[in-house]
Structure 1
Amino acid sequence: MRLSFKEIITAGMILFAVIDILGSIPIVISLREKAGRIQSGKASIVAACIMVAFLFIGEEILNLIGIDVNSFAVAGAFVLFFLALEMILGITLYKDSEPESASIVPLAFPMIAGAGTMTTLLSLRAEFRVENIIVAIIVNIIFVYLVLKSSSRIERVLGKNGLSIFRKVFGVILLAIAVKLFTANINQLIALK
């Protein structure tokens, strides 16, 4: 096992940008309002398990069920698109009869360990050693856990108006990410046909 500090930092920064938990704070707060509470530990552990599992067997699973990475990313883009619409328009599209599961869907998957994260992990695996990527995942998950845990404190600091503005701004950003993810991958799919 050869750990490389440089690889860990690079992979960690890439994952940090893709996971974008700071940008997801308004969604986290909105999910907490709907579900009553968010199980930060559960969401973080599930997301970490999904990411590590996907790092090892992601491409094989997708190939096995006949789905390519681009199709997977397009599906993820749709989920992000609808989450963004909720944030911008202040409407509720995501309803769950079992509120506790908001910690898993859509928080752990697809928000933290979503299509963008999955495709990034497959790309990182081609460049970096697996053990360095795993350390980068763990560092990111610890940060995600801390942000989820302090989401109510962040909400108090921002206030109701600040939160509303924050939510709409990040809704637009999330919408742009969804559109970018969609266009980049739909072009790949069309090119493959």
Structure 2
Amino acid sequence: MALVQAGAAPVHQNLVAHNDLTVESASFKDSMRHLAGAVSVITVGRGNDRSGFTATSVSSLAIDPPSVIVSLNRESSSWAVLQRHGSFCVNVLAHDQKHIADNFAGRGGIKGVERYRDAEWQELATGTSALVNALTVLDCELDEAVERHSHGILIGRVRAVTLRTEAEPLLYWHGAYRHITAPIVSA
């Protein structure tokens, strides 16, 4: 592992692997269920070569240039489509769009372009489909895909943004969809 400080040469450290510090997959998964997250549908591809997936792991990366990070399993059918087209769209879902989250999660065996049924879509600057009436839409060009373990960390440069200001977000926490009921008021 190389640690780099600005203007300095890499410093190498010897890291010792501790097998007794291995975390069980089930424990890690249960721990991650404690992270409440906005539900997004990530769309990839164009025309009949489209797919997508539901994600709660979308994060802003930078303001200059505007960019986001999304994690995608490389075994997913969306990975190959993303590689072919080089763009993706983050559609942050509103509280009334749970059925879209279920479609893109593949509930009922729904795959590929069939995931787009039961919703209205429009093509944005990159050619990727954007959900009409999503809470917010970020149309992204793939800047880089960093392959780590089973996933690719997608870095997307945002090319267009749309907002729906009158709706609340769809949230996911402890294995279930949630919504905000009331803000916490400080004393």
- TM-score greater than 0.5 by the shorter chain: no
Report the TM range for the smaller structure's normalisation: under 0.3
Q: Which has the higher relative contact order, 1 or 2, with Cα contacts under 8 A spaced 6 or more apart?
A: 1
Highest CA radius of gyration, 1 or 2? 2
Q: Which has the higher strand share?
A: 2
Q: Specify which structure has the higher proportion of helix.
A: 1
So what's the TM-score if we normalise by structure 1? 0.27
